[in-house]
A and B are shown apart, each in its own frame.
Chain A
Amino acid sequence: MGKRNRAGFCFVLPSLVGVFVFYIIPFGDVIRRSFMQAVGNGFAGLDNYRQVFSNQAFCLAAGNTLCFVAVCLPLLLVLSLGVAVLLLEQVKGKNILKSTYLIPLAIPAASVVLLWNIVFDQYGMLNGIISFFHIRGKDWMNSGAAFGVLVFSYIWKNLGYDVVLWIAGLHGIPESIYEAARVDGAGALKCFFYITLPNIRPVAFTVVILSFLNSFKVFREAYLVAGNYPQEQIYLLQHVFNNWFSELSVDKMAAGSVLLCIVLVVFVLLLQRSWDKED
């Protein structure tokens, strides 16, 4: 190890120790527990994994989580990029708009939950508004609409954050490229597809990963609004893990966590690989 590397290593060491102590070592224990019985030291082999795969609640939650990510992620990426591009144009009051998009991030989860209750309750504000137009309201959080509410909440909360990330990326594209393209007769759309998109690829990787991970945080609001057993379409993986822990089903919880981790790692690796390939 060179002198320069040694110094760098020293700087990284504290956080590395933290990651090891608080993440890697506990996760090692989770892997160990996934092969053990919930209480005691009895070896369970692959039983816990078999139970997880045959568990209807887990399958439902995994399906819902996958569906949620599949709907939310593209929607958020496209919307936030669109807003970021628009904000970079000479829009009047764009600075205020930029800050406005960030407000949801600053609102604590408890306040968001209160807002949800006020807006989406059976006797809430939304139903009150639509009743003016003679449309019959519904119990948003206890019907199929709950999934839509969850998607809306996720987009609302994370849009501003992604916009900021995209803007940072967009600022990194030299203006001279756009000018040269315009001289050659390229329009706005051509500039977007042939200059903007290829140049924000490195930022896109970060935005996708962060948005993906943030999609798992939406559980907090869903849990606070609808409790342990919400409408079945918004019953997510974290609900299962939470309830399993309350019931001391640590064996299943550990196996489920390992499986989830594998899926996440595979997703990130595949994403990275496809990025590297195209580069």
Chain B
Amino acid sequence: MRTKKKLAALFLLLAMAITLLGGCSGKKGEEKGGTDRQQKAQERAGRFFESEVGLPRGVNIVRSLKKLSDGSLGAIGENTEKREYYLLKSNDYGKKWKAVKVKGLRKRYMPCVAMSSDGTAVFFEYAKGDKVKAYHADAKGKIASFSFAFPDKGKNNQVHYAAYDAEGQLVVNGFDGSLFVVGKDGSCKKPFDTKGAAVHYFGIAGNILAAVHNEGVFLFDTKKQEVLEEEEPLDNLIKKEKELSSSDTDSGQPMVFSEGTQEDGFFFANKNGIFHYTRGGSVIEQLMDASSASFGGNNATYQDMAVFDNENIFIAGSGSIYYYSYDEKAASVPEQELTVYALDESSYLRKAVALFQKENPDIHVNLEFGLSGKDGVALEDALSVLNTDILAKNGPDVLILDGMPADSYIEKGVLADITDVVEEVEKEDGIFLNIKEGSKKDGKIYSMPARFLFSVVEGDKETLNSGGSLEKLAERAEQLKKKDSSSNITPPNKGTRTLLRDLYYADSAAWQKEDGSIDKDRMEKFLENAKRIYDVDKADKKEDYQDKSIGDGTFSGIKANTNASDSLLGKQCKISFGTVAGFLGFQGMCSTWGQTKADYCLMNGDTVKSYIPYLCAGVVAKENTETARMFVKSLLGKKAETADINATTGFPVNRAAFDAFCKEKMDDPHVKEGLSMAFGGSSDSDDIYGYEYRNLTQKEVDKLTQIAESLTEPSMTNRVIQEIVLGQADKYLLGEQSLESTVDAVMKKVNLYLAE
């Protein structure tokens, strides 16, 4: 007996040891996944491909999407500038649209809209008092108003979401979590028992209503008006990813639903992909992974979804319509895999990946973002994970090096030389040679920005004469303040951090010595000038709203201008400065000059002509870098560089793309449609300012091109140094420490960093 016990104990110990050691052996999970992927690919064929559906002229976003009863694709479009609504219809999957303007709703904001399968639509206004006013629009765009009151009177009787079922019944979800049916006469009834739970949003798939609440999904049959059995897989989905039940956005829902081809089945899409679920089933089938689609991302929200059959799916998200078509001949899972890693979310990168996938259907691209912003991962944590993967030879194939220790990676041989890739792009489309030269390290290119931004000073002629150096700019600001002490001279939205960041981007390239260290005197001058500029309107500076909302100008993966033309237009300042984030921003700035009589110059251009490199791509040195090189070439290519239809997110480094944008902006179709911008004045006044976008003139394009060609030095984008400088400078500007101790602290910390 004792021997048996001993043997059993030994056996258990052995098993434990083998299990422990087993965990360290063999290939990594993802590599195994890769093998499985290839096996599966050989076994099955067919997968979805994405393309973006163009919208008709005058419509810039889509609010609702529906497969109409006559088999066409229907949508509600909006011109957000003019606040005009359109009923759209297409018989060829969005290649051509028939647009009918909804009459009588111009300049009225409709927070919620819905389309019925007969092509009619409903528009809801914000409730005033107990009543909600709504408008039925027939297929010809003629409206008839009606109003209704929420069945449960409460404080939040605003319509959050509405949709029609297959029978034409209008179901409404209020911000109070209620769910009810609104009749054509405005009568309301509550046929759905939500067991007291607040419904955050819902979707209708034929006659199945899926109402998302905190703990899962209620299903109802809208035709029979009865509760359907709870589906565990759907409930688990919500329990596992709580953000899918969130409804704290008016830009869309985290999930959208559409009817399937089977009676009991339906489709839905969320940040993870497109799925199909059959009621009573135990598994949710994933049709497409969001990593290879434009609609993915943690912050993604959607307006609607329309499924024609199992092979043609449309999703409306971020204002655009994406079409997913099934190619039965393509391998179900591409044989090759490519991982692209970036720290920050970027809509531009998502589009570039979708474009690359479309052109290379045999390559699956995993797009990973290290700092999603929702899971509390700090920069150091993200870099640690990335470095561990690189050391384990399980790292990404392409790195978007913004915010990463690029110099260290180059020094350690992590990055491959991509000079040949850049030269190929240069040969095909041309490239800004100054930026190519600025990207070289020891004569080779390891990292090349796809886009770039630069800083400008905007104001009157005398201001522009001073914009060439920070010292003169400070002098000019002080001079203007002396003349008119009651007015703001610098933009009011620039708190310490925003102001410092703008000046840092324009000046930091001048401090960097050849050995990478910092020129103490120049940095000290920078601090002095920043303080002088800040002190001009010190008394009027409130909280740094801009830093809190958009930081360095990046918002939800899109770059925005930090230059404040709107403040200049609103007479809230006399000098504006900051970055220009792309053609749309540049066009907006030029469009205000009709009223402000201002002009612009490169900020600090007499000291250093610097640019901010953005989306710096590098290829990780591995045995086979061919696919990664192909991706970088595609990223730098004209197609990807012009894929950003709004022309935001920096200026393209690709010369052909830059010229194409210049040409387009000189004869902009949006201008013909009357694209305009309106915004409020200061918080103390009710004044509304606005401007109409206009075409760029040849002179403006020439000046822009000349400036872009003159930029020679990339500003210091190393996040560690930037954070050290801005952190200490912030205290100096606020008067918490002297110049001497600020310079001393910065130098000590930066030297420590460099000494490491």
Contacts and interface: CB of A to CB of B under 8 A. Distances in A.
B16 A14 contact: yes
A57 B751 CA distance: 9
Contact of A246 (B13, B16, B380): B380
Nearest to B737: A139
A229 B737 CA distance: 18
B756 A240 contact: yes
A75 to B, nearest CB: 27
Contacts of A249: 408, 412, 756
B405 A247 contact: yes
Contacts of B16: 14, 17
B13 A10 contact: yes
Interface residues of B, number: 32
Contacts of B21: 21
Interface string A141-162: 0100000000000000000000
A14 B13 contact: yes
A52 to B, nearest CB: 11
A248 B20 CA distance: 28
A235 B387 contact: no
Q: Is the interface of A mostly helix, strand, loop or mixed?
A: helix
Nearest to B17: A17
A232 B720 CA distance: 16
A117 interface: no
Interface string A50-93: 00000111101000000000000000000000000000000000
A37 interface: yes
B337 to A, nearest CB: 21
Contacts of A17: 13, 16-17, 20
B748 interface: yes
A99 interface: no
B214 to A, nearest CB: 28
Interface in A228-265: 228-229, 232, 235, 240, 242-250
A50 B391 CA distance: 22
Contacts of A203: none
B413 A56 contact: no
A2 interface: no
Contact of A229 (B409, B724, B736): B724
Given A17-B17, A56-B755, A122-B736, A142 B745 contact: yes
A39 B756 contact: no
Given A18-B20, A37-B412, A38-B412, A229 B380 contact: no
A13 interface: yes
B20 A21 contact: yes
Contacts of A58: 756
Interface string A20-61: 010001000000000001111000000000000001111010
Given A17-B20, A18-B20, A142-B745, A245 B412 contact: no
A245 B737 contact: no
B233 to A, nearest CB: 37
Given A17-B17, A60-B752, A240-B756, A228 B412 contact: no
B756 A244 contact: yes
Contacts of B745: 142
B10 A246 contact: no
Interface string B380-409: 100110010011000000000000010011
Given A39-B390, A39-B412, A122-B736, A247 B756 contact: yes
A235 B390 contact: no
B391 A39 contact: yes
A163 B21 CA distance: 40
B383 A246 contact: yes
Contacts of B645: none
Nearest to A122: B736
A122 B753 CA distance: 24
Given A14-B16, A55-B756, A229-B752, A39 B10 contact: no
A103 B10 CA distance: 42
B413 A250 contact: no
Contact of B413 (A25, A39, A57, A242): A39
A242 B390 contact: no
B753 A248 contact: no
A58 B559 CA distance: 39
A21 B20 CA distance: 7
Interface in B732-751: 736-737, 745, 748-749
A18 B16 CA distance: 10
Most chain B CB neighbours (cut-off 10 Å) among A38, A40, A122, A240? A38
A242 B381 CA distance: 10
Most chain A CB neighbours (cut-off 10 Å) among B10, B383, B756? B756
Interface of A: 10, 13-14, 17-18, 21, 25, 37-40, 55-58, 60, 122, 139, 142, 228-229, 232, 235, 240, 242-250
Give the 10 A-B CB pairs with smallest separation, nearest first: A57-B755, A56-B755, A247-B408, A229-B749, A57-B756, A38-B412, A17-B17, A247-B405, A246-B383, A248-B387
10 contacts: A13-B13, A14-B13, A14-B16, A17-B13, A55-B755, A122-B736, A139-B736, A235-B752, A243-B753, A248-B390
